[in-house]
Structure 1
Amino acid sequence: MSDSSSDECDTQHVLFKNRPEWSDVTPLKQDDGDEPVVLIDYTEEFEDCFDYFRAIVQKKEYSDRALQLTKTAASLNPANYTVWQYRREILKSLGKDLHEELDYIGKVILKQTKNYQVWHHRRIIVEWLQDPSKEKYLTEEALAKDPKNYHAWQHRQWAIKTFNLYDEELAYVDQLLKEDVKNNSAWNQRYFVVNNTTGFTEQILNNEIDYTLGKIKLLIENESSWNYLRGLLVHDKKGISHNKKVADFCETLYNEGNRSPFLLAVIVDMCSEQLTYDGGDGDSIYTVMRAKELCNDLATQYDTIRAKYWVHMAETIEKQAKEQDIQDTSSSTK
């Protein structure tokens, strides 16, 4: 539970029961009931701190010493919601400098980057101050340690959307993707920015498709970029199979012998779409037979971990074709 790197809990730490300034407070022991199933072996330091913490919460003491005690408690257990909530109550009651609190919690976050409570505490302080000026920088520091840190991305998206901080965000995302094209969090952020700024107009959609196809060329076996492409095509009113640029790109890869499961899955979607919207046009290369053959290839060779899904897809497409009285005799592209 403790953070060994904290300056609040080093070898010089003095127990609260041995501090003269706390002699007027009677510590409140934790109540585990008459017959606790499991007794946690807390350190003396931990038990001492939280005994005094419970005591000041009970008496609703809002003071500088109480504020300092919450800092020690947070260093021992930074995931404790009550500690942070009570700290906020003290800060508000004493009218403390919240910019100092931002500096403090920023240091804590960089030691506890995957702790929900510390990010939540910072968010509330930023809301109180209405000052997001340091949030992008802080999240970038956290993401430099782990580019896929969910808490950092969540906080960054909140700050950007709440305070309209979209400027230069696509450039930041592009840099992350240059460093790691498989960074699905960066792809998600790209979608977030476009969706909340320009939207997917015809021109923007075309630009994004070009960008994504370029990234796919760098690494064909990258699910993140393929997923982004599929997300883009939801916004194409013509449908996946009628986007000539994407269709030509996929067919070129296929004809060159590429059998990435992500490529094949997109082609299956194209076949399914033709069946749904165009009635399985016999002149199209996206036929019922081709869809079934690709599903079989995926189930038996290229995506065996999801074999049952592809068998189900083949059965679904065949059933749909029968309902629409579409013949399964069109030649396939193998």
Structure 2
Amino acid sequence: MTDSGSEDLSNEPPIIFYKHRPEWDDVTPVPQDDGPNPIVAIAYSELFQDVHDYFRAVLKSGEKSERALQLTDDALDLNPANYTVWQYRREILKHLEKDLQEELTYVRGVIERNAKNYQVWHHRRVIVEWLQDPSHELELTEAILSRDDKNYHAWEHRQWVIRTFKLYDNELEYVDRLLTEDIRNNSAWNQRYFVLNNTSNFPADIIDREILYTIAKIKKVTNNESAWNYLRGVLERSDYGICENSVVKQFCEDLYASGNRSPYLLGFMVEMCEEQIEKGAGDSFYNLEQAVRLCDSLAKEYDTVRKEYWNYIARCLTNKRNSHCNNGSSKALIEEMNSAASDGTIVTSVDE
């Protein structure tokens, strides 16, 4: 929006302030009340003040009209995160019995300009619920994700619409395309798990298929944390945990024997050792001595940023009576480490 006092460099006509519009003469604007002594007064532009003063007046009077709807357009153009404006817009839409397909077109435009705005996506969801029509949602989210494949709001909306309207059929194909484009796309790996978790409950044949699928991806990029996390998640849905699948064990052993020292491979093998130790079934490869060696390698060479963490895990595995290690706490800490690696934070110490 450009105000009427600025030079118009576009083909659009200049914005006329509401206070200068004859059709709004019957409305007394309501200024924002920040109290007598605001600590940090925000320097709103004249245009922002004008639009919101009139919006407050309409909200106060309860007017639900075409001009009030247009007023919400202007208010949301200035601040698309304003929940009150969106809520009142929905009340106007219902009152005027507006064409909600047109509203979907409108809100798509707002989303395309503000794709990381929660309130915009929430409004979209409400309109879809009112219409009970999800026919545009997968295409919309795919378009947004093609620009930013980590957009949380788009993924959340996509999962909501798939779950609500049972649109699972072609989602694995879409996910596979994303992983072909970017094998490290953590959001796509998460979506794959979401689909299978909601459609299959991971029977043995699906687990076997997903193990082979994930191993094939890991072979392409062994330093891909997302794939290792997915493999762990699939194995944890099995009856035998992460250390009893012969295909996975052989894959890890072969990868290790080839000289690969991905920290995600080594960390995964530490977990396999721990699971065997807890079962009292350590073998010639997955045992306490191997776990300590792996932790030492991680701490000193392959994951030095988490040196203290790996030293701690080695101590826990050596002394299972340590209070920090009871009830599978080291597995919980491994999950914490994975989370930390994803969001950029660093686990430096876990000692009390």
Relative to the length of structure 1, the TM-score reads 0.92
Which of 150, 166, 169 is the matching residue for 1:167?
169
Partners of 2:235 and 2:242 within 8 A in 1? yes
For residue 11 of structure 1, report the CA deviation from its aligned partner: 5.7
**Counterpart position of 1:22:** 24
For residue 312 of structure 1, report the CA deviation from its aligned partner: 1.3
**Counterpart position of 2:312:** 312
Structure-1 separation of matches of 2:208 and 2:292? 30
Structure-2 separation of matches of 1:167 and 1:280? 42
Identity in percent: 58
Partners of 2:292 and 2:314 within 8 A in 1? yes
SS at match of 1:320: coil
**Counterpart position of 2:288:** 288
For residue 198 of structure 1, report the CA deviation from its aligned partner: 1.6
In the alignment, is residue 42 of structure 1 matched against residue 36 of structure 2? no
SS at match of 2:320: helix
Structure-2 separation of matches of 1:78 and 1:31? 21
For residue 280 of structure 1, report the CA deviation from its aligned partner: 4.2
**Counterpart position of 2:338:** none
Q: Which digits, 9 at most, give the CA deviation of each residue in 1:15-39, with x for residues without a partner? A: 0001111000000000011111112
Partners of 2:316 and 2:322 within 8 A in 1? no
**Counterpart position of 2:273:** 271
For residue 177 of structure 1, report the CA deviation from its aligned partner: 0.3
Partners of 1:241 and 1:274 within 8 A in 2? yes
Q: Which amino acid aligns with 2:14?
A: Q
Q: Which amino acid aligns with 1:271?
A: C
Q: Which digits, 9 at most, give the CA deviation of each residue in 1:168-190, with x for residues without a partner? A: 10000000000000000000000
Task: Compare relative contact order (CA 8 Å, sep 6+) and give the higher one, 1 or 2.
Answer: 1
Q: Which digits, 9 at most, give the CA deviation of each residue in 1:137-196, with x for residues without a partner? A: 000010011011000000000000000011110000000000000000000000000110
Partners of 1:288 and 1:321 within 8 A in 2? no
- Map residues 76-87 of structure 1 onto 2, 5 A cutoff: 76-87=78-89
Partners of 1:139 and 1:152 within 8 A in 2? yes
Structure-2 separation of matches of 1:125 and 1:239? 43
Structure-2 separation of matches of 1:210 and 1:256? 19
Structure-2 separation of matches of 1:23 and 1:189? 53
Partners of 1:298 and 1:307 within 8 A in 2? yes
* Unmatched runs of 5 consecutive residues or more in structure 2: 3-11, 324-352
For residue 223 of structure 1, report the CA deviation from its aligned partner: 0.5
CA 1:54–1:199: 2 relative to 1, 3 Å: same
**Counterpart position of 2:178:** 176
Structure-1 separation of matches of 2:81 and 2:269? 46
Which of 106, 109, 123 is the matching residue for 1:107?
109
In the alignment, is residue 63 of structure 1 matched against residue 65 of structure 2? yes
Which of 10, 23, 33 is the matching residue for 1:31?
33
Which of 88, 91, 107 is the matching residue for 2:90?
88
Structure-2 separation of matches of 1:243 and 1:264? 17
Q: Which amino acid aligns with 1:284?
A: S
Q: Which amino acid aligns with 1:316?
A: C
Structure-2 separation of matches of 1:300 and 1:318? 18
Which of 54, 76, 81 is the matching residue for 1:74?
76
Partners of 1:212 and 1:225 within 8 A in 2? yes
For residue 293 of structure 1, report the CA deviation from its aligned partner: 1.0
Q: Which digits, 9 at most, give the CA deviation of each residue in 1:257-307, with x for residues without a partner? A: 000000001110111001111x143x4311101101111111111111111
**Counterpart position of 2:211:** 209
Q: Which moved more, 1:183-192 or 1:31-40?
A: 31-40
**Counterpart position of 2:231:** 229
**Counterpart position of 2:197:** 195
Structure-2 separation of matches of 1:264 and 1:311? 14
Report the count of equivalent residues.
314
* Unmatched runs of 5 consecutive residues or more in structure 1: 3-9, 324-334
For residue 199 of structure 1, report the CA deviation from its aligned partner: 2.0
Structure-1 separation of matches of 2:64 and 2:308? 60
Structure-1 separation of matches of 2:86 and 2:119? 8
CA 1:63–1:176: 2 relative to 1, 3 Å: same
Relative to the length of structure 2, the TM-score reads 0.87
Structure-1 separation of matches of 2:198 and 2:32? 48
Partners of 1:275 and 1:321 within 8 A in 2? no
